[in-house]
């Protein structure tokens, strides 16, 4: 497994863990009688939780395939190709994943723009 793939898997695992803990936070009772949800700022029970977002390629980066994970959607979104366009996912200011399509001058392969003309 390449280093970039390890980062993507790690970020995805963190997002899933955060999501699962958020779902069950009020059911996990600590020895003091306090719930984990109370300590985490009330992830459930109607209170607003803090959104978290991470992009493995550092944001808008057409030359590197990345994966965006957020707690808003609870999913991982990998950069992909759509013909000569790259569909680039990145985090917004609201900590949610969104995307834009960019026309790669030399084409797209495996979620990133080619750096030069293919020979």
3-state secondary structure the chain: CCHHHHHHHHHHHHHHHHHHHHHHHHHCECCCCCEHHHHCCCCCCCCCCCCCEEECCCCCCCCCCCEEEECCCCCEEECEEECCEEEEEEECCCCCEEEEEEECCCCEECCEECCCCCC
As a whole number, mean pLDDT of residues 63-75 equals 89
What is the average pLDDT value for the chain, to the nearest integer? 75
pLDDT digits (tens, 9 = 90+) for 70-85: 888 788 999 999 999 9
Instruction: Provide the pairing of β-strand 76-78 with 67-70.
Output: antiparallel
Q: Look up the pTM and report it.
A: 0.59
* Residue 85 dihedral angles phi and psi, to the nearest 5°: -95, 145
pLDDT digits (tens, 9 = 90+) for 19-51: 555 544 444 444 444 444 444 444 444 445 677
């Amino acid at each position: 497994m390449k280093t970039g793939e390890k980062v993507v898997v790690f970020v995805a695992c963190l997002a899933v863990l955060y999501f699962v803990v958020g779902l069950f936070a009020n059911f996990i009772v600590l020895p003091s009688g306090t719930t984990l949800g109370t300590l985490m700022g009330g992830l459930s029970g109607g209170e607003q939780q803090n959104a978290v977002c991470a992009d493995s390629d550092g944001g808008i980066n057409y030359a590197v395939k990345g994966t965006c994970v957020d707690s808003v959607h609870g999913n991982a979104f990998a950069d992909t190709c759509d013909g000569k366009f790259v569909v680039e996912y990145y985090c917004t200011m609201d900590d949610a994943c969104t995307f834009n399509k960019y026309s790669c001058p030399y084409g797209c392969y495996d979620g990133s723009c080619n750096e030069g003309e293919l020979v």
